[in-house]
Amino acid sequence: MIDAENLTKKFGNLTAVEDLTLHVDEGEVFGFLGPNGAGKTTTVRMLCCLISKTSGKAKIGDYEIGNSADQQKIRRIIGLLPENVGLYDDLSAYKNLDFYGRLYKCTKEQRRERIEYFLKMLGLWDKRNLSAGTFSKGMKQKLAIARALIHDPQVLFLDEPTASLDPEASKTVRDFILELKKEKRTIFLNTHLLDEAEKICDRVGILKTKLLAVGTPEKLRQSLWGRKTVVQLEHVNDAIVAAVKRVGPRNIEIVDNKLVIDVSNPEKENPDIVDAINAAGGRVQLVTEVSPTLEDVYLKLVRG
């Protein structure tokens, strides 16, 4: 649904996005991670036809970014939650959404149904007749998400959708995104909240002007760290360590009375490790697997 090949954007001598090659499947929730200034928002603005690309190619569905004949077609099939929500403060929440629905030529019945559905889903239905200017920043954020969906887009771009939201409101938005996922919409999510990305996204890409890595959170963790088994013992001695090494693990680290062991297939290797420890006179208290977080992966990649 979203394809980019060597997509690049320069502002004078500054390269904001360099040689981005990326594919996002239809119905996928894709998380775009990176520090401030990494090029995430610039990428979204190019894909949404808000700024021109410097070089490279990109398509949304069958339509090409940079092709003037395709720009309006792209805008009809995408929805965008930008960094700055840009609502009409003097209009009510309902009239804001109705106005944008008219711009997208939604019928009166479509506008009525969708406005009620989205405002109820986001907990704003009781506030529908209040002017948007009286809303908190978090409430405006949720209203802007509803606005991005009013024309029933196939592809949804969300730039920091839970920014400024309290924990309860953030969960409401996350649950809402997961509901949209069930509808097979393609969602491109810019976020710096790694826990949020791990809960929502099918795959993530880590950007720092260039794309550093892309994959499922689980595959990224394994590709950078592998898998490690932690065996907590009553006591560790040289005989136990030697016995475990004979089983064949690649690397063993001793931390207090724990053995941290690199393994390829813990489901297969752990029983042999425990048997070796027992045979050497060791007493196993606990066996666990240590797994890096998405934050660990992110920081390792971004720091180089």
Question: Which DSSP symbol is given to 131?
Answer: B
Q: How far apart are CA 213 and CA 304, in angstroms?
A: 12
In the predicted model, what is the mean pLDDT of residues 43-53?
Answer: 95
Strand partners, 158: 81, 189
pLDDT band with cut points at 50, 70 and 90 for residue 196: confident
Q: How far apart are CA 138 and CA 169, in angstroms?
A: 8
Q: How far apart are CA 263 and CA 55, in angstroms?
A: 44
Domains of the chain in start order, with CATH, are 2-215 (3.40.50.300), 222-302 (3.30.70.100)
Q: How far apart are CA 299 and CA 201, in angstroms?
A: 18
pLDDT band with cut points at 50, 70 and 90 for residue 251: confident
Structure confidence at residue 228 (pLDDT): 86
Contact (CB, 8 A) for 179 and 210? no
Task: Give residue 46's identity as a one-letter amino acid code.
Answer: M
Tokens of residue 259, six digits: 């053995």
Lowest mean pLDDT among 3-17, 116-130, 143-157, 165-179: 165-179
Whether the per-residue pLDDT at 19 is higher than 90: the answer is yes
Per-residue model confidence as pLDDT tens digits over 223-243: 776 788 999 999 999 999 999
Extended beta strands in 2-126, E state: 2-11, 14-24, 29-33, 55-60, 63-64, 78-81
Angle, alpha carbons 200-100-113 (nearest 5°) = 70
Structure confidence at residue 112 (pLDDT): 96
Angle, alpha carbons 38-43-46 (nearest 5°) = 150
Structure confidence at residue 302 (pLDDT): 82
Q: Is 166 in a helix, a strand, or coil? A: coil
Question: Considering the entire predicted model, what is its pTM?
Answer: 0.81
In the predicted model, what is the mean pLDDT of residues 126-132?
Answer: 96
Structure confidence at residue 217 (pLDDT): 85
Strand partners, 60: 2, 63
In the predicted model, what is the mean pLDDT of residues 240-255?
Answer: 88
Q: How far apart are CA 240 and CA 261, in angstroms?
A: 13
Q: How far apart are CA 28 and CA 185, in angstroms?
A: 7
Strand partners, 262: 228
Structure confidence at residue 281 (pLDDT): 95
Structure confidence at residue 298 (pLDDT): 81
pLDDT band with cut points at 50, 70 and 90 for residue 202: very high
Mean confidence (pLDDT) of the chain: 91
